[in-house]
A and B are shown apart, each in its own frame.
Chain A
Amino acid sequence: SQKIEQNSEALNIQEGKTATLTCNYTNYSPAYLQWYRQDPGRGPVFLLLIRENEKEKRKERLKVTFDTTLKQSLFHITASQPADSATYLCALSGGGADGLTFGKGTHLIIQP
């Protein structure tokens, strides 16, 4: 069956360092992948979308890579700040009539 794996343990990073979050998937051929940020008690907020033919996408301090051979996406936050602390969700779609499937998310804590 299709499966999306994100590190279920919280990730603690020192302020100013680069935070790297991982999204692995199996039994998928996603057309594209999205990353969302979710704060406690609030709905997810879209951050970045990367397509299968793109290797890397950037937005300000955020960078996403997509390796369809490794079946993995990496999400990087450079110069991390305490305000970046949140849960980050990856979501995949096979495109067409397939729906969007979300991972369980990784809780990121940026320590001052």
Chain B
Amino acid sequence: SQTIHQWPATLVQPVGSPLSLECTVEGTSNPNLYWYRQAAGRGLQLLFYSVGIGQISSEVPQNLSASRPQDRQFILSSKKLLLSDSGFYLCAWTQGAWTDTQYFGPGTRLTVL
């Protein structure tokens, strides 16, 4: 069966510090991968998606970036965090189109102070 992992589960970072969140999927190959952010009182906001190694599409301009160094690994990064980057970050995958059922990871709670 397929599983999706995210780490760390919780992170507290000062403003201006770098960020690296990791997501890995097991039990499937060539998944479509997604990064979402869920801020308090707001819906899920799609940040990035990837249909293959090295292929990244950005939905929202920001100081975040994403990379996919391996087929089942997706990384969310920032060189300098802002207060507004605080939120709940979720990684998800689909086997087919991104309109298919999305399978979410456990999430990372990021607090920027």
A102 with B101: CB separation less than 8 A? no
B101 with A44: CB separation less than 8 A? no
Partner-contacting stretch, out of A61-69, A71-79, A91-99: A91-99
A41 with B101: CB separation less than 8 A? no
Least distance between B9 CB and chain A CB atoms (Å)? 9
Binary B-proximity of A69-112 (CB < 8 A = 1, otherwise 0):
00000000000000000000101010110111011110000000
Closest to B88 in A: A41
CB-CB < 8 A to A104: which residues of B? Answer: 41-43
Q: A99-B46, A99-B59, A102-B44 are in contact. Are A45 and B104 (CB under 8 A)?
A: yes
Q: A104-B42, A104-B43 are in contact. Are A42 and B99 (CB under 8 A)?
A: no
A102–B39 CA distance with the chains assembled, in angstroms:
13
Least distance between B98 CB and chain A CB atoms (Å)? 6
In this complex, how many residues of chain B approach chain A with their Cβ under 8 Å: the count is 21
The reply to whether the CB of B90 lies closer than 8 angstroms to some CB of chain A is yes
Give residues in B with beta carbon < 8 Å to A.
41-44, 46, 49, 59, 88, 90, 92, 97-99, 101-107, 109
Provide 17 A-B residue pairs closer than 8 Å at the C-beta atoms, listed in order of the A residue: A4-B43, A32-B99, A34-B101, A34-B102, A36-B102, A41-B88, A43-B90, A44-B44, A44-B104, A46-B101, A46-B102, A95-B99, A96-B99, A99-B59, A99-B98, A100-B98, A102-B44
Give residues in A with beta carbon < 8 Å to B.
4, 31-32, 34, 36, 41-46, 49, 89, 91, 93, 95-96, 98-100, 102-105
